[in-house]
Amino acid sequence: MAAPASPPTTPHLFVVLGGTGDLMRRKLLPALYHFHARGDIPAGSGILAVARAPLDDAKFQQVALDALLAAGAGTDGAQDRANLEQWCARTIRFQSLAAGGSAGYAALSARIPQVEKELGLAGDRLFYLALPLQAFASTIQGLGDAGLAHGPGWTRVVVEKPFGRDLASAQQLNALLHRYFEEQQVYRIDHYLGKETVQNLLVLRFANAFIESDWNREHVEDVQITVAESLGVEDRAGYYESSGALRDMVQNHTTQVLSLVAMEPPGSLDADAIRNEKVKLLRSIAPLAPGDVVFGQYQAGGIGGQSVPGYRQEPGVSPTSDVETFVALRLRIANWRWQGVPFYLRTGKRLPAKSTRVVVTFRAPPVAFFHRAAAYEMSPDRLTILLQPDEGFELCFEVKVPGREMRTQTHRMSFRYSDVFGSLSDGYEMLLMDVLRGDPTHFVRADEVEASWTLYDPLLANRPPVRPYAAGTMGPAEADQLLEEMGHRWDESGLSGGS
């Protein structure tokens, strides 16, 4: 939910560190070409890919053309192909960092104004770190020492997740960024925050009085946030063995959803007003006790009728690995709105279906006379907010079954984005446009990163035992016990199968 009046973007140079990588080919190049094709950015904006590969402009322009063709661009006839080729030749340049170290960044510092002069640009620059975490520090220092943290126009830097591996490393990375860049120049990107349905959480809550008036401890019994993945580790074993589900999903994606679900109303749509409330919420979460956390790891099983191996049998995974592929948490928010309401978070790989959802269960009416007869099979009212893949929401409520007898049934009232708006984008393009416009609303601020790591850092130092669960199930039995101890159970509707 960006501020309603965003300033127009200006002609700029989009500099991608890691310019030959997968993120550049699959996400960034197609997004930037779409901006051009739709007229979302001014003509004349340029792209400078930076990597260690020994390429020149012409060779990388061919790499970019192949990537865009593979993504479906330029396939609508000969003229469309010719337009794409012309755009690549006119827009894209390449700078090699083969020299390494300070010499490589000095060469980059000299090349950027040359490209800007060639393209007629005034000096507005965006540096995108499409790099693994271990390369962030040296890249930030290289840019800063080469004098690239500030230029003739605006300068912004986008940093991909994960932002640090723990609290100490996140603090060190923030300190390094702030040595060269001001906080308002830094955009820590989490693609979940670009999803329309995630941004709609604020609209759903604060633009609908009947929801917000019940969004508190007086009316809510519990809140569940599930980020389920049916895929396994796939080809990411090298990354995942050093990460695990807590770092990969909980500290960022899942906690971002939590903060938007539970935060207080901001004073305005100003970026800092919204982010202040998110930080305040994270700082209100009580420290996690050992009994509040369950780690799991998938074993061999079946999904969608197909047999799949266990995590330890995946290529590149140690046969004795204790890396968690599943996390379930029970959180307590120690503030006026949520005191006494448990928040349950879970995420895992090789679960039955891919789904991200928030389930808010409301308290039973204070006079429960319908429960006194066996004929009344009452279910609590529930609001399910579906973030992916079938975006929308459902409200479950009780109705009387027609007839002489007083019998009730649970029915669902639903809304689907696809029925009204068609398919939704994955959010990357929206976030990139926000950076170009200088709108940091949907990006993570330094204190928010550190508040999140403060919550989860103790689990890295004192890891819970890793419980096994069969692929195709909803995780280890201990995750169910987290809720049963409080008289609750996971809502599994729509999660029993899929691909």
Q: How confident is the model at residue 6, as a pLDDT?
A: 47
* pLDDT (mean) for 408-416: 81
Hey, what domains does the chain have and what are their CATH numbers?
13-160 (3.40.50.720), 193-426+446-484 (3.30.360.10)
- Residue of 327, 329, 309 lying closest to 319 (CA atoms): 309
**Which amino acid does the sequence have at 493?**
S
Torsion sign (Cα): 481, 482, 485, 487: negative
Q: CA dihedral in degrees (351, 352, 357, 361; nearest 10)?
A: -100
Q: How confident is the model at residue 498, as a pLDDT?
A: 42
What is the spatial distance between Cα 125 and Cα 149, in angstroms, rounded to a whole number? 10
Coil, strand, or helix at residue 470? strand
Question: Of 12, 36, 253, 442, which is the active-site residue?
Answer: 253
Judge whether 253 counts as a catalytic residue: yes
Q: Which pLDDT band holds residue 4 (cuts at 50, 70, 90)?
A: very low
Residue 144 backbone dihedrals phi, psi, to 5 degrees: -65, -45
Q: Strands, E, within 81-124: which ranges?
A: 92-96
With 70 as the cut, is the pLDDT of residue 376 above it? no
Q: Tell me if 491 sits within 8 A of 394, measured CB to CB.
A: no
Q: Summarize pLDDT for 21-58 with one digit per residue, the tens.
A: 999 999 999 999 999 998 888 889 999 999 999 999 99
The set of residues, in sequence order, having a beta carbon less than 8 Å from that of 401 and lying 6+ positions away, is 407, 408, 409
Q: How confident is the model at residue 414, as a pLDDT?
A: 87
Q: Which pLDDT band holds residue 304 (cuts at 50, 70, 90)?
A: confident
- Tell the residue number behind the tokens 């995780």, with chain if given: 475
**Which amino acid does the sequence have at 435?**
V
Q: How confident is the model at residue 389, as a pLDDT?
A: 86
What is the spatial distance between Cα 75 and Cα 425, in angstroms, rounded to a whole number? 20
Token reading at 358: 């928030």
Token reading at 242: 């050093």
Q: Which pLDDT band holds residue 277 (cuts at 50, 70, 90)?
A: very high
Q: How confident is the model at residue 7, as a pLDDT?
A: 54
* pLDDT (mean) for 287-306: 95
- Residue of 211, 246, 195 lying closest to 392 (CA atoms): 195
Coil, strand, or helix at residue 145? helix
Q: Summarize pLDDT for 61-90 with one digit per residue, the tens.
A: 999 999 999 999 888 888 889 999 999 999
Quote the mean pLDDT of the chain.
91
User: What residues pair up with 396 in beta bridges, in sequence order?
Assistant: 382, 412
With 70 as the cut, is the pLDDT of residue 334 above it? yes
> Which secondary structure element, helix H or strand E, spans residue 211, and what is its range?
helix 209-212
Q: Summarize pLDDT for 180-238 with one digit per residue, the tens.
A: 999 999 999 998 888 888 888 998 999 988 899 999 999 999 999 999 999 999 888 98
The set of residues, in sequence order, having a beta carbon less than 8 Å from that of 188 and lying 6+ positions away, is 159, 161, 163, 443, 444, 445, 446, 449
Q: Summarize pLDDT for 420-437 with one digit per residue, the tens.
A: 888 777 778 899 999 999
Q: How confident is the model at residue 2, as a pLDDT?
A: 40
Is the peptide bond between 113 and the residue preceding it cis, with omega within 30 degrees of 0?
A: no
The set of residues, in sequence order, having a beta carbon less than 8 Å from that of 169 and lying 6+ positions away, is none
